[in-house]
Structure 1
Amino acid sequence: MDHYRGRDSALNEQVLWRLRGPYDHEAMTRAVAALTARHEPLRTTFPPGRRLRQRIHEPRPVPVPLTDVSAEPDPTAAARRIVATEVATGVDASVWPLRPLVLRIDPRHHLVVLTLHHYCSDDYSNALLARDLRALYAAETGEPADLPAPQWQYAQWARWQSEQLSGANLARLTEYWTGKLSGARLVKLPARRQRPVPDGEPPWISVEHYVDAETTAGLRQLARQHRTTLFPVTLAVFYALLHTETGADDLTVASLFANRTQPQVRDTVGFFASMVLLRERVTPGTTLSELIAQTRTTVMAAMRHQDLPHQLLPPDTVTGGTGRTDDVLFQLLGGLMTRADMAGEELDDMEAQLERRRFALEFVVVPQGDTLSALLLCSRADFDPAWADAFVRDYVSLVRRAVTDADVPLAELRAAPVT
């Protein structure tokens, strides 16, 4: 992504934390320094060169700028603009992988922003950093901090991974994925763009609709009936929607897995997330309930074989589309680890990060307490905003259909599109 899309996408991760009440900036500066001392990737640089190499630095103080926006006419809006600029501004990992910042919205309301290069963090790691920074700041202000020590640092895991991806184990993983994906074709949604993108419009479309609490509860119950989690259930509904949109009976989409099969990395920060291709075959008579069961099996098998980095698949394992294997990506955000900032105002803070340019079409389901949010991010050059809005609405309607009548065949969905 950095090589091919680096100029189109700031490959940044962000950790955001709102503090309300008394604030001690010197204590926060010490907490950030303690955070970098605790996690090696936050002090790892990658010198330029043909081969990517890591250089781990000794712990050292990290400047934490404090920007006061309290005098602005709308301090919250001003803070949001700064956060959006931060995530859109690249982090030079050859110099330092972490860029902290604190915004003062008023004397008793501060927003802590950690912007990190994607080389050194992922969604699971962001959750760890949010947890750790809270605890370390509390410790600096006199409260006890009870944090488990990371068993492995990222470099230890990288050596372990290198050893695993050789010999018989590499052959086993490669055999599984080539067998699973042989003959698969990328999902290619019909081009929906009817007119050129007007000047001044953002290059990406962002559409969000919500699944109500009653339907969400029914979806969780459906997952329990299938002895699985929300991820296979919400993915199965996405497959059903793709089937109604394209008429394709062989569907392959990308997703991101935590890739933390070793217990030693439970508290380790780093870029572990692994892209996997999830292939599902359907027939006109397949019901939503049967598709959920199939998807559960597919996801469980993929989890057992997620150790193989996607780029080590033999070339042309999957064909079609534009040649990229991540044109259509599905995620259940927050499913890897509970995020302390995944609610209310803090969830709104993530808008800038979610709108990063990463994939041609990214569909994200976000748990929000008792409800779900369905979010579509796609290229405005390829898709029309009206189509994008209808696509997400149809997904929400299909979720309701799955809860009320999971035995409906997909053929009926295709014959009578959900509205």
Structure 2
Amino acid sequence: MTVREAPATVGQRLLWMMGHYRATEEYGTFNCPVLCRLRGRLDRAALGAAVNGLVRRHESLRTVFAGRGRDLLQRVLPAEPVGVDWRDAPQPPAPADLEAQLAAELRTRIDVGLSPIRVTCWQVSDTDHVLCLNLHHMVTDAWSTGVLFKELQTLYAHGGDLSVLPEMPWQYLDFARWQRHQTDSGALDRQRGYWLRQLDGARLARPPRLPGAGSAASGPTGVAAVTLPADVTRALKDVARDLRVTLFSVLLAGYFAQLHRATGDRDLTVASLFANRSRPESRGTVGFLANMAMLRSRRADADPRLLIKAAHVAAVGAFANEQQPFQTLPPRLIDTGGLRADDVVFQVVTDPQYKGHAGGLEFELLVPDAIGSRFSFELAVAPLGTGLRPVLFYRRDWFADAWSREFIAGYGDLLRSFTKA
């Protein structure tokens, strides 16, 4: 089988430039792992076969990159065996030591010029293992994590036999060709027009930075989080249902309201990543398909119900026009105040199937904190059991730890107040 080449997509070129000119490599900010807890008697041969089945099935997992900038190429290599680095956890088991080893792995960069994947498995006990498929973000995204987690279980149960999985309608190169055609043919002109109107005069939200905060490309990431228990989460879902909006819109409105508290600004714009999977052929594709979208609120000081409805309008508009790559819009469309458009970000982690059983094992998908964010100020809301866990990732050289903890605590308080409005 020969090497296949194609131009990198707009999103891949952006990540490449961020990795070379913006990110501090030792933070592993472009690692996008599939991290699993495996409970039960593990068959190492079956797990190795399952991992290699994924690599054979998905071209992205054997795609490397050459060149630079607009000349960046993605090169799909023939399927070669990928080894699993088997490691024993400290004995007796010491959770802090295992967490330190995991953190070190997640923060170690992946050289996509050589391989986009690194596989490690820790044996905690005879019936407890932690598997890390560490991938570079240029070949995967959050949606892809769910695809890989589900298929890993199926392949483990069948010894890596690909015939048990449905045929792949699209590989990532098929998506890349389709995206180039959409852009070059003018098929996205209507969506482009929407964004030009929606973002006319927009101003990026600017959380207050530390005095003397520098302009270095990147810095160490801090993490602050709160937990919203099941009863609060149910109440937020009730608010969404009563207003006929999505939970995403309710959570986004809380972010706008908290940013208004922090900045005093009423007209606020933040970035978000949308899955960009409207084509049925793309649902099972592994790769970086996500597009950045800008979400704008012109009345961040509004009554909660009005703010939630306004956030919903912004989210629905962004979803309907998510195929237009933001990077191809005029570079000065948004007033960023010297920041990047993706410096202030909001995301909601979709709720995939976090647990499953296959081949006598229980699989649990883990969401790690021990990895740097490639954004300067990112609020991500993830499911936690039957509740929610809002997590703030922030640059510690730009934002004070105490202030960041207060910000995320205030966000949680605002969401609780929404349930009583």
Into which bin does the TM-score normalised by the smaller protein fall? 0.7 to 0.9
Counterpart selection for 1:36 from 24, 44, 55: 55
1:26 corresponds to which letter in structure 2?
A: A
Query: Cα offset for 1:146?
Result: 5.1
Partner of 1:139: 158
- Counterpart contact for 2:52–2:160, Cα < 8 Å: no
What is the Cα deviation at residue 93 of structure 1? 1.1
* CA distance in 2 between partners of 1:357 and 1:125 (Å): 18
Kept after mapping to 2: 8 A contact 1:185/1:251: yes
1:319 to 335, 344, 347: 335
Is residue 414 of structure 2 the alignment partner of residue 398 of structure 1? yes
* Counterpart-to-counterpart distance in 2, 1:141 and 1:302: 39
State the distance in 2 between where 1:154 and 1:261 align. 15
Distance 1:41 1:348 in 2: 22
Q: Distance in 2 between matches of 1:80 and 1:266?
A: 33
Structure 1 residue 350 corresponds to structure 2 residue 368: yes
In structure 2, what residue type is equivalent to 1:265? S
Q: 1:6-405 alignment to 2 at 5 Å? A: 6-8=23-25, 9-10=27-28, 11-50=30-69, 51-71=71-91, 73-140=92-159, 147-192=165-210, 203-282=220-299, 284=301, 286-335=302-351, 337-340=352-355, 350-353=368-371, 356-405=372-421
Q: Contact 2:377/2:392 (CA < 8 Å) preserved in 1? A: yes
Does the residue aligned with 1:254 lie in a helix, a strand or coil? strand
- Pair 1:13–1:177, CA change in 2 (3 A): same
Q: Check 1:195–1:169 CA distance in 2 against 1; reply closer, same or farther (3 A cut).
A: closer
State how far apart, in whole Å, the 1-side matches of 2:229 and 2:24 are: 38
Which is further off, 58-67 or 150-159? Answer: 58-67
Contact in 2 for aligned 1:150/1:265 (Cα 8 Å) = no
Q: Secondary structure at the match of 2:244?
A: coil
Partners of 2:223 and 2:369 within 8 A in 1: no
Letter paired with 1:366: A
| Equivalent-residue separation in structure 1 for 2:22 and 2:355 (angstroms) | 31
In structure 2, C-alpha distance between the alignment counterparts of 1:141 and 1:173, rounded to whole Å: 42
Query: For 2:201 and 2:113, how far apart are their aligned partners in 1?
Result: 40
- SS for the counterpart of 1:155 is helix
Residues 57-87 of structure 1 deviation map (CA, whole Å, 9 limit, x = unaligned) = 222211112111243x444333322221111
Deviations 1:25-50 (A, max 9, x none): 12111111111111110111112445
> Gaps (5+ residues) in structure 2?
1-17, 357-362
Distance 1:267-1:195 versus aligned 2 partners, 3 A rule: closer
Deviations 1:198-225 (A, max 9, x none): xxxx933211111122111110011112
CA separation in 2, counterparts of 1:208 and 1:49?
A: 37
Report how many residues are paired: 391
- Identify if the C-alpha distance between structure 1 residues 64 and 241 changes in structure 2 by more than 3 Å, giving closer, same or farther: same
| Cα distance change, pair 3–157 in 1 and its aligned pair in 2 (3 A) | same
Q: Secondary structure at the match of 1:256?
A: strand
Cα distance in 2 for partners of 1:305, 1:110 equals 42
Query: Would you say the 8 A contact 1:193–1:384 is kept in 2?
Result: no
Contact 1:12-1:115 at 8 Å conserved across structures: yes
> Contact 2:188–2:323 (CA<8 Å) still a contact in 1?
no
Normalising by structure 2, what TM-score?
A: 0.87
